[in-house]
A and B are shown apart, each in its own frame.
Chain A
Amino acid sequence: MTAAIEVHGLTKRYGSVIALDGVTLSIERDSITGLLGRNGAGKTVLMSLITAHETPTSGTVRVLGEDPRENERVLGQTCFVRDNQRYPDEFRVPHLLDTGARFYPSWDADLAARVVDTFELPTDRDVRKLSRGQLSAVGILVGLASRAPLTFFDEPYLGLDATARMLFYDLLLRDYIAHPRTIVVSTHLIDEIEDLLSRVIVLDHGRVREDAGVDELRGRALRLSGRMDAIERVTANHAVLHRTSLGVLGTAVVTATTDLADEAAAAGLTTEPASLHELVAAYGLHTKEVSS
């Protein structure tokens, strides 16, 4: 079956700034993919290019096997509400519900109503006057209720408190289970969402750092702790993603290899799998190329 999204050597430049640099990846249908990375890593740009909101500087994008640019058939199956989405003037939540129903044959009015209730969205106010959290809820509303075969959520949790975020994850997962579709969520709150993901793509300075299943990625790095000199010795020929130290002690997040765990144990270091969060943060903390 064709992948839902396929991207080859995708590059996007804004003047002298390279937002995406030769990105190649594919996203399969009916999956939830997490797009992780720091601010400015290129997450929103990537989603913009996939949904033809922007044009590539070079490289190709294929959505459902076709070029999405000005492609009615393909684009009509996508939904991408961004975190700073601009809405038409005079728009209130009821307008959104009407418009959504009109634009998407798959629109689920009941689900939309449920989201309005869950987030207690005011229906009498101009959408542009809503708080940051309410705006996020609106984005979630449109993304979820559209049931678009390709739905993108751009940092959907901004302004939402922990409870509201949990409600979102629940709504998302339950609807996905009942009606599977291809979902891409950009986030840097990895801990909270990683269980929902089937796949993770980590972007750093416009490049793909990781593109793997969640389980695969979790085994990707180890956190060693103990004496700094022992750590240095053990990791001499390994890719160290991040180091911290406190006096003679320290920790290091290192790309895992088969012998590393044993060597570390032999050197008296404690070894634990690095969490996804640590892995992603470690990439972002580097300002220069990490050799691997």
Chain B
Amino acid sequence: MFDDTSPIFQQLADSLADEVLRGLYAEGDQVPSINELAAFHRINPATANRAVALLVDQGVLIKRRGVGMFVADGALTLIRTARRAAFEERFLTPLLAEARTLGIDPDSLVALIRKEATS
């Protein structure tokens, strides 16, 4: 499930955030423990720990001592905001670069986008 384009903990954190974004975990839901995540994804628990720590730092998850990890209130908004900020770099820049390589000018690109969005 993980490739070697970026650190695994990053990919795991992204994947968990993704699951929250897609509604698989609602705010207040409990997420799997670090050990469960490690066993499931076949990764070192230290890596899983890093991923979770990252999400806790970002305010996406909270830790309830003795109980487990939960999706924080407001996590959805946090993730969406972060994703929006990254949207341009992650999707737009490569899209424009590819369009340029293929000789598609920005106006034609916008037309293509409109067509795709309405179909």
So, do A and B actually touch in the complex, CB under 8 Å? yes
Q: Which residues of A contact B41 (CB under 8 A)?
A: 195
Q: Does A128 lie at the interface of the complex (its beta carbon under 8 Å from any beta carbon of B)?
A: no
Q: A214-B8, A218-B4 are in contact. List 20 more A-B contacts (CB 8 A).
A: A169-B42, A173-B42, A173-B43, A173-B44, A174-B39, A176-B45, A177-B38, A178-B35, A195-B2, A195-B8, A195-B41, A195-B43, A195-B47, A196-B44, A197-B44, A215-B8, A215-B9, A215-B47, A273-B5, A276-B4
Interface size bucket, B side? Answer: 10 to 19
Contacting pair B7 A196 (CB below 8 A)? no
Q: Which residues of A contact B4 (CB under 8 A)?
A: 218, 273, 275-276
The residue in chain B whose Cβ has the minimal distance to the Cβ of A272 is: B5
Contacting pair B9 A195 (CB below 8 A)? no
Nearest-Cβ distance from residue A182 to partner chain B, whole angstroms: 13
Given A272-B5, A273-B4, A198:B46 Cβ within 8 A: yes
* 6 A-B pairs with the lowest CB-CB distances in the bound complex, closest first: A215-B7, A195-B43, A198-B46, A275-B4, A177-B35, A198-B44
Q: Does A127 lie at the interface of the complex (its beta carbon under 8 Å from any beta carbon of B)?
A: no
Q: Which residues of A contact B39 (CB under 8 A)?
A: 173-174, 177
The residue in chain A whose Cβ has the minimal distance to the Cβ of B4 is: A275
Contacting pair A177 B46 (CB below 8 A)? no
Binding site for B on A (CB under 8 A): 31-32, 169-170, 173-174, 176-178, 180, 195-198, 214-215, 218-219, 272-273, 275-276
Binding site for A on B (CB under 8 A): 2, 4-9, 35, 38-39, 41-47
Q: Which residues of B contact A215 (CB under 8 A)?
A: 7-9, 47
The residue in chain A whose Cβ has the minimal distance to the Cβ of B34 is: A177
Nearest-Cβ distance from residue A73 to partner chain B, whole angstroms: 28
Q: Which residues of B contact A180 (CB under 8 A)?
A: 45
Could you list some 14 contacts between A and B, CB below 8 A?
A: A169-B42, A173-B39, A173-B43, A174-B39, A177-B45, A178-B35, A195-B41, A195-B47, A198-B44, A214-B8, A215-B9, A215-B47, A273-B4, A273-B5
Q: Which residues of B contact A176 (CB under 8 A)?
A: 45
In the complex, A198→B4 CA distance in Å?
15
Given A173-B38, A177-B39, A32:B8 Cβ within 8 A: no
Contacting pair A195 B42 (CB below 8 A)? yes
In the complex, A214→B46 CA distance in Å?
11
Q: Which residues of B contact A177 (CB under 8 A)?
A: 35, 38-39, 45
Nearest-Cβ distance from residue B35 to partner chain A, whole angstroms: 5
In the complex, A169→B41 CA distance in Å?
12
Nearest-Cβ distance from residue A177 to partner chain B, whole angstroms: 5
Q: Which residues of B contact A214 (CB under 8 A)?
A: 8, 44, 47
Nearest-Cβ distance from residue A220 to partner chain B, whole angstroms: 12
Q: Which residues of A contact B46 (CB under 8 A)?
A: 31, 198
Q: Which residues of A contact B38 (CB under 8 A)?
A: 173, 177
In the complex, A195→B4 CA distance in Å?
10
Nearest-Cβ distance from residue A202 to partner chain B, whole angstroms: 16
Nearest-Cβ distance from residue B105 to partner chain A, whole angstroms: 22
The residue in chain B whose Cβ has the minimal distance to the Cβ of A275 is: B4
